[in-house]
Amino acid sequence: MKYALIGCGRIAANHIKAVMNNQLELVAACDIVPENIEALLAKYGLEKDTSIARYTDYKVMLAEHAELELIAIATESGLHAQIALECIDAGIHVIIEKPMAMSMADADEIVRRSRERGVAVCACHQNRFNVAVQKTRQALEAGRFGRLSHGSVHVRWNRNRAYYEQAPWRGTWAQDGGCLMNQCIHGIDLLRWMMGDEVEEVYGVTRQQFHGYLEVEDVGMAVVKFRNGAIGTIEGTTNVYPKNLEETLYLFGETGTVKVGGTSTNNLDVWEFADETEADKANKGLEEQTSNVYGNGHTSLYADMIEAINTGRKPYVDAVAGRNALEMVLAVYKSVKTGQPVKLPLKEFASVELEGFYEEKNNYLWHKSTSTGIVQND
């Protein structure tokens, strides 16, 4: 299958590894910085491979390679939707890095247009393929939890100034979003997927505590009401000192309790079921070794996408899944902006609607503190 990658930054290495593991034909790579392409290819000994075309303009690449069958988009998040829609219009199947878009309008258009054109779209929520996550999903589908009571996701990571200075688009409302959109959306995807997908209401609170040089939040929490009666909570932050602590998913049911832990939901820290079998003993304490926080799921996600294209079925993580994860984050953001719970489905909202939010809030808090005498002026 003929493949191209658009965006050769931080996450791109996981995509090229998946390409090689699935024996795709790497036709072209595109990045606005040519050195990024060469550095990426060099990691896999491909820097001298002249059969791989290099581009700094994806539009030119699309125009010159009508034979492309699959493209992965790994640019800054604010460009995902625009590029995806152009690929869909060209009849090319697409893997879109998270988040799939930055607005509900764009996400819904990707879903609509991909269906209309018969193009497969995969949202790159690769953690669904983690061994621990898959075992939990299998137990859920087998009814081993019984009725679900509640669940929670906790993403407790560290992102310092150096991380944001590597790419100026990070930490902006237009191109990235805050910790909930960037670092926490994988966990949010897992929570919604496991808890029944149908969400009734979201109420969120966020703050910008230690990253005043950014536009966005660095800590966020939310309560989620699911239509099946279960309750979910979300906690995400980039304020943990001195390094990433954990990304964990808890599920509590009538007859089962699971904690999927580790730095990226890759371990089974707790595995308890009323109908315990001998096979369950192997799951307790399971650890999947990973080389980074992105885990090992890209290879499996690519394999599934290839099979979906070849057989005409939906990808395991399709465009609707990407839309639903985005909807959760944007619902939190809308709740923060309005101070009210937000009913789903969310028809219209975009991350840019929070532009200036923390600047205004911080100015308000500063003026409030000076008026009460907490801050003294000389």
Q: Which of 350, 344, 304, 324 is nearest to 191 (CA)?
A: 324
**Rounded CA gap, 283 and 76, in Å?**
37
User: What pLDDT does 371 receive?
Assistant: 53
Q: Mean pLDDT across the stretch 21-31?
A: 98
Q: Which of 70, 84, 87, 81 is nearest to 15 (CA)?
A: 70
Task: Give the domain range for residue 112.
Answer: 2-127+298-316
In a domain, 171, yes or no: yes
Same domain, 198 and 305: no
User: What pLDDT does 185 receive?
Assistant: 98
Go through the chain and tell me how many residues it has: 378
Same domain, 96 and 236: no
Cβ contact 25:3 at 8 Å: yes
Look up residue 84 and give its amino acid: A
User: What pLDDT does 375 receive?
Assistant: 40
| Residue entry with tokens 């294209």 | 309
- 224 CB-contact burial (10 Å; exposed 0-12 / middle 13-18 / buried 19+): buried
The phi, psi pair for 61, rounded to 5°, reads -60, -45
User: What pLDDT does 291 receive?
Assistant: 74
Same domain, 212 and 108: no
**At 295, is the pLDDT very low, low, confident or very high (cuts 50, 70, 90)?**
confident
User: What pLDDT does 293 receive?
Assistant: 79
- The CATH number for 70's domain is 3.40.50.720
DSSP bridge partners of 150 = 231, 252
Same domain, 168 and 123: no
Same domain, 287 and 159: yes
Look up residue 372 and give its amino acid: T
- The region, left, alpha or beta by phi > 0 then psi within -120 to 50, assigned to residue 295 is left
Return the SS3 of 322.
Answer: helix
Confidence (pTM): 0.94
Same domain, 67 and 151: no
Q: Mean pLDDT across the stretch 133-152?
A: 98
* Domain total of the chain: 2
Least confidently predicted of 94-103, 106-115, 174-183, 360-369: 360-369
**At 290, is the pLDDT very low, low, confident or very high (cuts 50, 70, 90)?**
confident
Q: Across the chain, which distance is largest between two alpha carbons, in Å?
A: 73
Q: Which two tokens stand for residue 27?
A: 């036709």
Q: What is the overall mean pLDDT for the chain?
A: 95
Q: Mean pLDDT across the stretch 169-186?
A: 98
- The CATH number for 216's domain is 3.30.360.10
User: What pLDDT does 362 receive?
Assistant: 64
Q: Which of 223, 238, 143 is nearest to 184 (CA)?
A: 238
Percent of the chain at pLDDT above 90?
92
Same domain, 303 and 344: no
Whether 365 has a pLDDT exceeding 60, the answer reads no
User: What pLDDT does 103 receive?
Assistant: 98
Same domain, 118 and 10: yes
Q: Mean pLDDT across the stretch 313-332?
A: 98
Same domain, 98 and 220: no
**375 vs 293: which has the higher pLDDT:** 293
Q: Which of 340, 318, 316, 342 is nearest to 328 (CA)?
A: 342
Same domain, 305 and 255: no
**At 376, is the pLDDT very low, low, confident or very high (cuts 50, 70, 90)?**
very low
In a domain, 30, yes or no: yes
Cβ contact 224:191 at 8 Å: yes
Q: At what angle do helices 185-195 and 131-141 cross, to 10 degrees?
A: 20
Return the SS3 of 136.
Answer: helix
Q: Mean pLDDT across the stretch 1-12?
A: 97
Q: What is the DSSP letter of 318?
A: B
Whether 192 has a pLDDT exceeding 80, the answer reads yes
Q: Mean pLDDT across the stretch 270-286?
A: 95
